[in-house]
Amino acid sequence: MKKTLIIISLIYTTTIVAQTKLYVHPDAKTYVANTKTIAILPLKVQVKLRPKELKEFTEDQITEMGRDEALDIQKAMYSWFLTRKKRGTMLVDVQNPTKTNTLLKKNEIDIHSYDEYLPSELGKILGVETIITGSFETSKPMSNGAAIGLAVLTGVMFTTNSATMNMDFISTTDDELVVNYLKKIRGTLGSDSQDLINVLMRKVSRRIPYTE
């Protein structure tokens, strides 16, 4: 009986994949062959809090929370790609986010607001052939500090986390979309940005041309 309960518990703490959509350019292999380095830009992150939770924060604090989460996700994605590169399953190099963000700031570009620039313009600044952009929506803060702080303020401890990632791999040579990856998932107790990104990227890596 105890073993059965443990198995059931493990089942319920496993991430559940709700929806996946994937687009790959017909000539994706050529784009990959012409790509030496990818840069990961901070995704547009929105933390969708409940009305009760929203009352505890100002608009500026909510905006700052989203930006902090964006940087956490950027680092988590870089860490994931770096691990694959060391294993020999990543076909291109990935630029360190610190360098990416510094180069953007030096060119007076807000790292959280770069939509007015074409991928080709950003590519010249960053010195890369492909950039990753997109959006990420989550039902709770993923960084442990933010989640704990919110729990203290509202008296609610989050046990699950739904998240939606919409990620684009865009060529900086001709502004062409090479890969679009949309996935909705339901996280688990204690899920943080690294946990969720590992789940998301593990799924997409099996089907995108930048890995093997």
Can you tell me the mean pLDDT for 64-80? 88
Phi, psi of 25 (to 5 degrees): -60, 140
Can you tell me the mean pLDDT for 169-173? 98
Greater confidence (142 vs 102) lies with 102
pLDDT greater than 90 at residue 53: no
Residue of 125, 126, 124, 122 whose CA lies nearest to 97: 126
Can you tell me the mean pLDDT for 85-105? 96
- Per-residue confidence band for 114, with pLDDT thresholds at 50, 70 and 90: very high
Can you tell me the mean pLDDT for 109-115? 95
Domains of the chain: residue spans and CATH: 16-204 (3.40.50.10610)
Given a contact cutoff of 8 angstroms between Cβ atoms, the answer to whether 57 and 49 are in contact is yes
